[in-house]
Amino acid sequence: MEAEMVGATIAGVVVAGVFGLGGLVVGIIGLSQARGAKRAAAEANKIAGKSNKIAGKSNKIAREANDIARQMAARQDELHDVAWEWTYDKDRPGTIRIMNIGKNKAYGVRAQFIYTDLDAGVDVTEANDEPEDVEGRQVLALHVAELGEAILARRQYAKNSASVAMLGNPMAALEMYWTRLRVTWRTTLGTPKQYDSGDERQLGYPS
């Protein structure tokens, strides 16, 4: 009888051990699955985060494209009255007066004046040092030293020559040189503009 009880006890212990081991295995499997699910959820969150970033960048690009399109349309419709003319400054020999004869303001103006006298072997370009904003009817001045020297030389010759004073300078028609004006600027909305007079033949220097 005692042996039967011992056997039953051992059998119970073995059965309990088997069920306990099974529970342990089930627990390990469940833990592993839980960790896998957690990793999958984390990856899903990363993918979702990247998708949101991509969507945000796409929206930003779309907004920028719309802004550019609006700016281009506005520039095409912009009313801009700017034109350029130049004259000699009578009181300052060699100084060129470049006027914006339009009504609108020109921004960041860069002007170049080219003076070429082939007979004298002169070919020079003068430009303003820094970009300037020029209002309508406002003047931008450039000084061309070589041109000033030529003008003063002709004036001195006329002063010293009685025949020139009486009859005018017979050489004036032969005093040929070339000028060229180039101007670049921006409109109020930032549209770049440029003007180029091309090479212009000049006969005689201003008195």
pLDDT mean across residues, the chain: 81
Q: For 100-152, write each residue's pLDDT tens digit.
A: 999 999 999 999 999 999 999 999 999 999 999 999 999 999 999 999 999 99
Check pLDDT > 60 for residue 47: yes
Percent of the chain's residues with pLDDT above 90: 51
Distance (Å, whole) CA 142 – CA 127: 7
Asked if 137 and 86 count as a contact pair (C-beta separation under 8 A), the reply is: no
Report the topology of domain 84-203: Immunoglobulin-like (2.60.40)
Q: Which residue has the higher pLDDT, 22 or 110?
A: 110
Per the confidence metrics, is the pTM higher than 0.75? no
Ramachandran bin of 134, using left for φ above 0, alpha for ψ from -120 to 50, beta for the remaining angles:
beta
Length, in residues, of the chain: 207
Task: Report whether 174 contacts 186 (CB < 8 A).
Answer: no
pLDDT of residue 6: 47
